[in-house]
């Protein structure tokens, strides 16, 4: 399968029908060759099975019994639910999800071995079930300290703040594990943009709301970010000054203004208390 991916970088489907949405694909994904005769690929929005024709797909829809991701609901608030899925227990489902997400990820090799990963799937709820808006995968054990392997907001839901929720969720899990984490490198352009925004907002929020001066290490430990990500972010924001032989965090008027703007704009957050009972699964 890896070979197919290396050899054929040409996009195989232009369009995917998923749920009530038809979306354009961005990149190649190794769905079975036999299906490429069709223009549009039909993907079931609950089990992510794929079909070359509308007829086959409606036959599937009539008998598909899944209405939410096949795992435990570990978080719920007014807007979203998160489900935790073990790649080893739900191989087919996770592989199907990876096939779908590969169509929007260029720089990642598709892992057909999903066993070492957990999948955190974010859904919105309605009378028909829980609809996936985005997800991230996470290695059960990461030697590099990564807290996210792959992250995706489905294209029809992008630029609505869901990516930010996914990122915040990944750090809330790290906080509960007592670990500092960072996303797997390299990041895509969109991944980098989203992470930079999250890091900047989170750090400035902490600095502004703290009554005492905070150190780099304290910022890292309170946010579960790595010291390196904290340093890079503050550097990018021009917030690090060298004073009498050590780094001091400097807050300019401009930073304060940006902060006020963000505060007004951001509406949705993950409520950390919603994860109070969560423990990292023993896989």
Is the link from the previous residue into 186 a cis peptide, with omega within 30 of 0?
Answer: yes
C-alpha 23/C-alpha 21 separation (Å) is: 6
C-alpha 42/C-alpha 25 separation (Å) is: 12
Q: Give the residue at shortest CB distance from ligand ACO.
A: 163
User: Which does residue 83 bind out of Zn ion, ligand ACO, none, counting CB within 5 to 8 angstroms by kind?
Assistant: none
Q: Is 132 in the site for Zn ion (CB under 5 A)?
A: no
The residue annotated as part of the active site, out of 184, 201, 254, 271, is 184
Burial environment of residue 53 by CB neighbours within 10 A (0 to 12, 13 to 18, 19 or more): middle
Q: Look up 127 and say whether it is catalytic.
A: no
User: Which does residue 64 bind out of ligand ACO, Zn ion, none, counting CB within 5 to 8 angstroms by kind?
Assistant: Zn ion
Q: Is 47 in the site for Zn ion (CB under 5 A)?
A: yes
Least separation in angstroms between residue 189's CB and ligand ACO is 7
Query: For Zn ion, how many residues bind (rule: CB under 5 A)?
Result: 4
Q: Is 64 in the site for Zn ion (CB under 5 A)?
A: yes
Q: Which of 139, 124, 30 is nearest to 87 (CA)?
A: 139
Residues of this chain that interact with ligand ACO (CB under 6 A) are: 104-105, 148, 150-153, 158-164, 183-184, 187-188, 190-191, 193-194, 197, 265
Among residues 51 and 151, whose Cβ is nearest to ligand ACO? 151
Least separation in angstroms between residue 269's CB and ligand ACO is 12
Q: Is 35 in the site for Zn ion (CB under 5 A)?
A: no
User: Distance between alpha carbon 270 and the CA centroid of its chain, in Å?
Assistant: 13
User: Distance between alpha carbon 280 and the CA centroid of its chain, in Å?
Assistant: 18
Q: Is 99 in the site for Zn ion (CB under 5 A)?
A: no
Sign of the torsion formed by the C-alpha atoms of 101, 107, 109 and 115: negative
Cα–Cα distances (Å) from 181 to 46, 159, 168, 249, in that order, read 30, 24, 12, 22
- Binding-site ranges for Zn ion (CB under 5 A): 44, 46-47, 64
Residues marked active site are found at: 184
């Amino acid at each position: 399968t890896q070979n197919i991916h290396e050899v054929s970088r040409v996009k195989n489907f232009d369009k995917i029908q998923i749920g009530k949405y038809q979306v354009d694909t961005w990149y190649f994904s190794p769905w079975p060759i036999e299906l490429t005769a069709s223009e549009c690929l039909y993907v079931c929005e609950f089990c992510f099975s794929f079909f070359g024709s509308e007829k086959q797909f409606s036959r599937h829809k009539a008998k598909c019994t899944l209405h939410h991701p096949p795992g435990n609901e570990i978080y719920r608030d007014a807007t979203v639910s998160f489900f935790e899925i073990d790649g080893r227990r739900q191989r087919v489902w996770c592989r199907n999800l990876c096939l779908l997400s590969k169509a929007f990820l260029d720089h990642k090799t598709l892992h057909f071995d999903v066993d070492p990963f957990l999948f955190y799937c974010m859904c919105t709820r309605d009378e028909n079930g829980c609809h996936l808006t985005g997800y991230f995968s996470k290695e059960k054990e990461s030697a590099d300290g990564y807290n996210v392997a792959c992250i995706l907001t489905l294209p029809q839901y992008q630029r609505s703040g869901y990516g930010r929720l996914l990122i915040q969720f990944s750090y809330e899990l790290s906080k509960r594990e007592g670990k500092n984490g960072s996303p797997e490198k390299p990041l895509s352009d969109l991944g980098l943009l989203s992470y930079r925004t999250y890091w900047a907002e989170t750090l400035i929020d902490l600095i502004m709301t703290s009554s005492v001066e905070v150190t780099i290490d304290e910022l890292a430990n309170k946010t579960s970010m790595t010291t390196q990500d904290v340093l890079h972010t503050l550097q990018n924001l021009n917030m690090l000054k060298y004073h009498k032989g050590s780094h001091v965090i400097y807050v300019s008027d401009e930073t304060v203004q940006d902060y006020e703007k963000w505060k007004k704009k951001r509406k949705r957050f993950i409520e950390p208390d919603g994860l109070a009972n969560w423990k990292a699964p023993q896989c």
